[in-house]
Amino acid sequence: MIAGSIFFEALMQVIITAIPDVLIFEPKVFGDDRGYFFESFRQDLFEQHVGHVAFVQDNESKSGYGVLRGLHFQKPPFTQSKLVRALYGSVLDVAVDLRLGSPWYGRHVSCLLDTERKRMLWVPKGFAHGFLVLSQEAVFAYKCDNYYTPSHDAGIRWNDPSLAVDWQLPPEVIRVSGKDAEQPAFSSVDTFAYEAFRQDKLYPRK
């Protein structure tokens, strides 16, 4: 479900997905018999393609095969944008457009994130986010532009039929937390209006 344009920079490809506000950043990796090196983040490149974002919190999790975390978001005024990647292993990462009135409302982008290509996915405010571990285990990391606020933590059901997400694993092997198993339906979310959560309004360009 990835489609769109690709912008080539010296050390990074920027791929516009089927939902243009969701971007894939794929670094150029330099490797030899000693190991590898790559630039995982550049503020100037990021602002060129997204706008001004100030990250304030980094998170990391470790999960086993079949573990699904999501689909999560934070309610206003503590909404979060995330730049996510797999430090180890392989995950299927999913972003769902929650913005009422959006041309892509209810649609999603799914992207394989792994240690082979070292891709990162930009998930803006107004989207629910989740990932499923496809490898034996995975270490997952993400940068956030707002702090985690338990009182505004929210989510939608990972297997809501209206979303039609192909998680690429049979349901019987997928493991979710008790909280995620009881998340509400996608249709219950009316928190985000497209006009208030358009990319150009959220992330001004300098």
Q: Look up tokens 């909404």; give the residue.
A: 79
108 is catalytic: no
Work out the average pLDDT over 154-176.
97
All structural domains of the chain, each given as residue ranges with its CATH number in brackets, are: 53-197 (2.60.120.10)
State both tokens at 180: 């995620």
The whole-chain average pLDDT of the chain stands at 94
Is 42 known as a binding-site position?
Answer: no
In the block, residue with structure tokens 């606020």? 149
28, 38 Cβ separation under 8 angstroms: yes
Q: How far apart are CA 135 and CA 122, in angstroms?
A: 22
pLDDT at 3: 52
Task: Output Rg (C-alpha) for the chain, integer angstroms.
Answer: 16
How far is 199 from 203, CA to CA, in rounded Å?
A: 6
Please report the pLDDT score of residue 1 as a whole number: 52
pTM recorded for the entire structure: 0.92
65 is catalytic: no
Q: Is 153 annotated as a binding residue?
A: yes
- Other beta carbons within 10 angstroms of residue 186's beta carbon come to 18
- 11 confidence band (pLDDT: 50, 70, 90): confident
The pLDDT tens digits of the residues spanning 87-98 come to: 999 999 999 999
Q: Hey, what amino acid is at 172? A: E
Q: Which amino acid is at 49?
A: H
159 annotated binding-site participant: no
Range 26-55 average pLDDT: 91
With contact defined as beta carbons under 8 Å apart, do 2 and 15 qualify? yes
Q: What percent of the chain is modeled with pLDDT above 70?
A: 95
Is there a binding annotation on residue 49?
Answer: no
Of the candidates 142, 147, 194, 203, the residue annotated as catalytic is: 142
Instruction: Determine whether the annotation assigns residue 58 to a binding site.
Output: yes
Helix (H) or strand (E) holding 48: helix 43-49
Question: Which stretch of 39-53, 69-83, 116-130, 173-187 has the lowest confidence by average pLDDT?
Answer: 39-53
pLDDT band at 204 (very low <50, low <70, confident <90, very high): confident
Q: Known binder of ligand: residue 108?
A: no
Which long-range contacts (C-beta less than 8 Å, at least 24 apart) are formed by 159-162? Answer: 160/185, 160/186, 162/106, 162/186, 162/187
Q: Which of 36, 72, 147, 194 is catalytic?
A: 72
